[in-house]
Structure 1
Amino acid sequence: MLHAIPGEHYVEFVADGIKPDDHPSFPSRVDDVPMTTSRLGAQVRLRAEVILAIQHWIARNPHIDMGIQLQPADTHHWKGQRLTIHTASSRWESTLTIRPDDDGLYELSSDRTWFLQLSVPTTTAATIKSINRKLVKPSHLRPESGEVLVTLADSRIAFPAVVDDEGWNGAEVPYFRPEIAKIIGAWLNYAHLTLDDAYARTYWEGDTLIVVESNYAAMAGYHPDHVKPERDGRYAIGWRGWAWESV
């Protein structure tokens, strides 16, 4: 698996016939453009080595009806290579040629037979469930002095947090200890997998929690939320729009 470098996020291909658990993620650059409300898919820019990884994945999944190739196949001169994408369905087919930009990156957007959405690093359902079992335990969720239990409006699990006196948009603004932030991240991934795919997905980059909102992941211009430790090292997760409520 290729890992994202600074300035990159992860993107996955979504197409008919591909199970969600089979969507591998690939590093991508997401430019600072205004977010559109169209669900035509994210627009990303990819390194040549990422294109080659996608090419190998597509070769193992011929039912996607998509071909992708860098030409010429001289991996020592990536900057000058052209990217050819061929897609087909029962009613139409299309061939697109993309040249690298000044940064040597290839701009890719969605197609009629598949679309792109922002994602998290590739993992497995078994791993998500295992991490959730390890971290999400009642003994790990006991409030400390000054904390109260908060929950999302549609969930049955509560997390200890220090709650800001001034709410935002009518909802609580909870601040979570680092160990609780890790538990919330694990639980969100589990909830996305097993309860409702509208739940956000998360991953960590150092001490920053990356939160990928499922409702926006396929929108052009969307950037995942980078939740960094704030006052007393605590994390304000989902404070801008999630309906946190005190228990």
Structure 2
Amino acid sequence: MNTAPAGDGAQPGEVYVTVADSGAVFPAVIEDERWNGFARPRFSRAAAEAVVAWLTDCHGAIAAAFDGEAVAITETAADRAERIEPGADGRYPIGAGAWEWELTTPAADVAAEQTLLAGAYRLAPEAGEVLVKINATGSDPGFPAQVDPVSGWSRSGTPRFRPDVAVVVVAWLNACGRQYPGATVAYWEDSTIMLLDPLAAIQDGYMPTQVVLEADGRYAIGADFEWERAKS
């Protein structure tokens, strides 16, 4: 499982990155252009300090420390050293264009999400709502939603969920992501839902999709998901 990100979470314009299979997560801004499909992050000073601490604690092949304002990284086996100075924006491009940084989500509270999902079948449609679902596992719950007339790829129209249902939809997406690596996952940034497609994330310019709370108090989640109407 991913460990908690450094600091208090991503700042505006930041996403979360991890080195493949490391379990460590850090907020960063990323360049539009990928390196062999991997992100090229630039870290704030606080996040760079967390990266240095992680390298020091967990990566025996690399030694890292701050040397004044620069980050000094030494590959011990190759006896190769690098100094990474902060850019004009004060950020550090640690491993950018050299390490396998991937976009990821902050650590999820799996137990809390499982509790939400356990009650998903008790969600009932209110006036003007229908039940919608994605047939991902064969035993997926239906979620009450209003349906927009513009459907995208959906067979039921783009569903619009009230906040108490949107929380469960996010938990369900993450459960599917744990079961099916490569599936779209989600996380919260304040009141905004961030949708992350790991397969699309290797493309230049990709950023997670932001789903904001709209004026009617609902979230329109997954315009390009294959939602279908579920039986009541």
Q: TM-score, normalised by structure 1?
A: 0.77
Distance 2:222 2:162 in 1: 14
Rate the CA distance shift 1:87–1:149 in 2: closer, same or farther, 3 A.
farther
Shift of 1:67: 3.5
Shift of 1:190: 2.1
- Report the secondary structure of 1:117's partner residue: strand
Contact 1:42/1:221 (8 A) holds in 2: no
Partner of 2:228: 245
Contact 1:119/1:217 (8 A) holds in 2: no
Q: Which has the higher contact order (CA 8 A, sep 6+)?
A: 1
> Are 1:162 and 2:146 counterparts?
yes
Identity %: 29
Distance 1:84 1:188 in 2: 39
| Aligned-partner residue type, residue 168 of structure 1 | G
Contact 1:24/1:122 (8 A) holds in 2: no
Q: Name which of structure 1's ranges 210-219 and 223-232 shifts more when overlaid on structure 2.
A: 210-219
Partner of 1:70: 66
- Report the secondary structure of 2:201's partner residue: coil
> Are 1:210 and 2:194 counterparts?
yes
1:101-128 deviations in Å (ceiling 9; x for gaps): 11111124253xx4111222234xxx31
Partner of 2:104: 119
> Are 1:104 and 2:90 counterparts?
yes
- Report the secondary structure of 1:223's partner residue: coil
Partner of 1:49: 46
> Are 1:6 and 2:12 counterparts?
yes
Distance 1:142 1:93 in 2: 63
Matches within 5 A, 1:10-89: 10-15=16-21, 18=22, 23-31=23-31, 33=32, 39-63=36-60, 65-72=61-68, 81-87=69-75
Shift of 1:199: 2.3
Which of 195, 209, 213 is the equivalent residue of 1:225? 209
Partner of 1:187: 172
Rate the CA distance shift 1:244–1:60 in 2: closer, same or farther, 3 A.
same
Contact 1:117/1:219 (8 A) holds in 2: no
Shift of 1:219: 4.2
Distance 2:168 2:206 in 1: 25
Shift of 1:176: 0.8
1:138-165 deviations in Å (ceiling 9; x for gaps): 4542222221221224243221111112
Contact 1:13/1:117 (8 A) holds in 2: yes
Contact 1:176/1:235 (8 A) holds in 2: yes
Contact 2:129/2:144 (8 A) holds in 1: yes
Distance 2:174 2:153 in 1: 25
| Aligned-partner residue type, residue 132 of structure 1 | E
Which of 222, 236, 240 is the equivalent residue of 2:220? 236
Number of equivalences: 219
Contact 1:42/1:219 (8 A) holds in 2: no
Q: CA RMSD in A?
A: 2.6
Contact 1:116/1:218 (8 A) holds in 2: no
